[in-house]
Amino acid sequence: MKKVPDEIKQLEEKIANVRSNEDLVRRESRDSEVSRAAKAGFRVGTELLSGVLVGAAVGYVLDGLFGLKPWLLVVFMFFGGAAGVVNVYRFAKSEEKRRKE
């Protein structure tokens, strides 16, 4: 078996020290309840808005292709809104599961 040089041992010790210090800092800087709630609120708003916007864009393009001017836009806006609500529901369930653990 080869002998490990002292420089490599010292380097491994330094790496271990840095990792333990990083773990300490990460434990101390946990998010507060307010910041977690704000992040969840922004995500919920983004999910709802993006669903409606994507649905409206798809409806607008299809209206241009088929010449049914307002109808497909309206229908796909509702589909996009429903998709946004489903995404928010999934997010809420995952947050609930995460809090129970």
**Tens digit of each residue's pLDDT (9 = 90 or more) over 30-66:** 677 888 889 999 999 999 999 999 999 999 999 999 9
Residue 36 located in a structural domain = no
Print the SS3 string covering the chain. Answer: CCCCCHHHHHHHHHHHHHHHHHHHHHHHCCCCHHHHHHHHHHHHHHHHHHHHHHHHHHHHHHHHHHCCHHHHHHHHHHHHHHHHHHHHHHHHHHHHHHHHC
pLDDT of residue 88: 96
Q: Span 80-94, mean pLDDT? A: 96
pLDDT of residue 38: 92
Domain count, the chain: 1
Residue type, 74: V
Residue 7 located in a structural domain = no
Residue 22 located in a structural domain = no
Residue-number span of the structural domain to which 79 is assigned: 52-96
Q: What is the pTM of this model?
A: 0.67
pLDDT band, residue 29 (cuts 50/70/90)? low
Residue 27 located in a structural domain = no
Between 91 and 5, name the one with better pLDDT: 91
